[in-house]
Amino acid sequence: METRNVIVPVHDGPIDLARPHFVGIGGAGMSAVARLLLERGSRVSGSDTSDTAALRELEDAGAAVAIGHTASNLPTDATVLVWSSAVTPSNPEIAAARRAGIPVVHRSDVLAHLITTAEQSVAVAGTHGKTMTTGILSAALTQLDPSYAIGATPVGRPNAHQGLGGLLVAETDESDRTAGRYHPQVAVVLNVDDDHPEQYVDLNDVLDVFERLARNSSVLVVSSDDPGARLLIERLQAAPGPQVVTVGEAKDADVRVRRVLWDGTASHVTVQDADGSWHEFTLAVPGRHNALNAAAAFAAGRVLGAEPTDLVVGISAFQGIKRRLATTGSHAGVTVLDSYAHHPSEITADLATARMLAEGRVIAVFEPTGWTRTAALGEEMGRRLAAADEVVLLDVHASVESPLAGISTAPMAAQVVACGGRAHRTSDGRDVADVVAQLVEPGDLVVTMGTGTAGRVGRAVLLRLAETLVTVPAV
Q: Where are the domains of the chain?
A: 20-107, 118-317, 324-466
The residue-averaged pLDDT of 217-229 equals: 98
- The helix or strand, by DSSP H or E, that contains position 282, with its residue range, turns out to be strand 278-283
Extract the runs of DSSP E, i.e. beta strands, from 2-44: 20-23
Q: Is 319 helix (H, G, I), strand (E, B) or coil?
A: coil
Q: Which residues contact 281 (CB under 8 A, 6 or more apart)?
A: 268, 269, 271, 294, 298, 311, 312, 315, 316
| Domain 324-466 architecture | Alpha-Beta Complex (3.90)
Tell me: pLDDT of 209 over 80. yes
Between CA 31 and CA 179 the distance in angstroms is 18
Q: What is the pTM of this model?
A: 0.86
pLDDT score at 53: 87
Range in 41-50, 97-106, 254-263, 448-457 with the lowest mean pLDDT:
448-457
Which segments of 1-69 does DSSP mark as H helices, in order? 28-40, 53-61
Is pLDDT of 300 > 70? Answer: yes
Give backbone dihedrals phi and psi of 271, rounded to 5 degrees, phi first.
-120, 150
Greatest distance between any 2 Cα atoms in the chain:
79
Residue type for 458, please? Answer: G
Chain centroid to CA 367: how far? 16
- pLDDT category at 364 given cuts 50, 70, 90 is very high
Residue 220, SS3?
Answer: strand
- Compute CA 108 distance to the chain's CA centroid, rounded to the nearest angstrom: 16
pLDDT tens per residue across span 28-71: 899 999 999 999 999 999 999 989 888 999 999 999 999 999 99
CATH of domain 20-107: 3.40.50.720
Q: Are 236 and 252 in contact (CB under 8 A)?
A: no
Question: Taking the CB of residue 313, how many other CB atoms lie within 10 A of it?
Answer: 15
Q: Which residues contact 276 (CB under 8 A, 6 or more apart)?
A: none
SS3 387: coil
Q: What pLDDT, on the 0 to 100 scale, is given for residue 472?
A: 38
**Residue 186 — very low, low, confident or very high, per pLDDT cuts 50/70/90?**
very high
Nearest Cα neighbor of 432 from 398, 462, 469, 466 is: 462
420 residue type, one letter: G
Burial of 202 (0-12, 13-18, 19+ CB in 10 A): exposed
Per-residue DSSP letters for 149-160?
Answer: E-SSPBTTS-SE
Predicted confidence band of residue 373 (pLDDT cuts 50, 70, 90): confident
- Read off the amino acid at residue 177: R
pLDDT at 89 over 90: no
**Secondary structure class of 173 (helix, strand, coil):** coil
How many of the other CB atoms lie within 10 Å of CB of 276? 6
Sign of CA dihedral 247, 252, 254, 259: positive
Name the residue among 223, 210, 222 with its Cα closest to residue 172: 210
Taking alpha carbons only, the member of 265, 281, 215 closest to residue 244 is 215
pLDDT, one tens digit per residue, over 321-359 is 988 888 899 999 999 999 988 889 889 989 999 998 999
Element of type H or E holding 449: strand 445-449
Q: Are 46 and 19 in contact (CB under 8 A)?
A: no
Fold classified for 118-317? UDP-N-acetylmuramoyl-L-alanine:D-glutamate ligase (3.40.1190)
- Give the pLDDT score at 475: 36
HSE value, Cβ hemisphere, 13 Å, CA-based, for 347: 28
Listed in sequence order, the residues at least 6 apart from 279 whose beta carbon sits closer than 8 Å to its beta carbon are: 270, 271, 273, 298, 308, 311, 312
Q: Is the pLDDT of residue 206 over 80?
A: yes
Chain segment 234-274, per-residue pLDDT in tens: 999 999 999 999 999 999 999 999 999 988 889 999 999 99
Rounded Cα distance between 81 and 74, Å, is: 8
Instruction: List 246's β-bridge partners, or say none.
Output: 222
Rounded Cα gap, residues 137 and 214, in angstroms: 18
